[in-house]
Amino acid sequence: MPTLVGKSAPKFQANAVVNGEVVNDFSLTRYLDQKYVVLFFYPKDFTFVCPSELHAFQAAQAEFESRNTAVVACSTDTEQSHWGWLQVPKNLGGIQGVTYPLVADTNKTISAAYGVLTGEYTFNPEPGVPFSATGELIAYRGLFLIDRKGIVRHALVNDLPLGRNVDEVLRMIDALQFFEEYGDVCPANWTKGKAGMRATNAGVAEYLSRN
């Protein structure tokens, strides 16, 4: 699937659990022109790597808020499953204490639109069962940084066993906001507080004129 970077983030409306309450028709449009959004997908509720990620994003909420960034999580579980998992304490494998939205991609269309749905449907022209699925239809660990205009500026997709680094997500937000403020680009391993680079062809032109 072609990358979404540089394109408008796919729109959706879905049920979600926000700060422990079920919300109908949740949409990212609530943040448009106001906040940056980190939308991250995870495979399943009630698993092992997933709660470590959800708690890590929760622990960094103050960092995201200081960057005017909303965090939104999404999996193919139902909103009832999300709510139930939120009732389970952290020491028992639950995500109690998570306050940011947990979107219920029950019909799997959001994961498909963002290109992170594992497996695929196969049409069977023979009578009987017309469709079958290859693989488990859950979400890879996709992550998308969306700017205030609704444009995807960064995308990352990990395989199911590989957890993400929240510090790197914060670094990418810093880099985007630095570029937007100063117009300077960010070289490899750039971190907040370091100088950027002015994007120019002057150096290349000078080199070519002498050679």
- Of the candidates 164, 167, 173, 117, the one whose C-alpha atom is nearest the C-alpha of residue 145 is 173
Residues involved in catalysis: 50
Residue ranges covered by each domain of the chain: 14-164, 166-211
- CATH for the stretch 14-164: 3.40.30.10
* pLDDT grade for 1, boundaries at 50, 70 and 90: low
Q: What percent of the chain has pLDDT over 70?
A: 93
Q: Give all strands (DSSP E) within the chain, no chain letters.
A: 14-18, 21-26, 36-41, 69-75, 102-104, 120-123, 131-134, 141-146, 152-158
pTM above 0.75, yes or no: yes
pLDDT tens per residue across span 97-107? 999 999 999 99
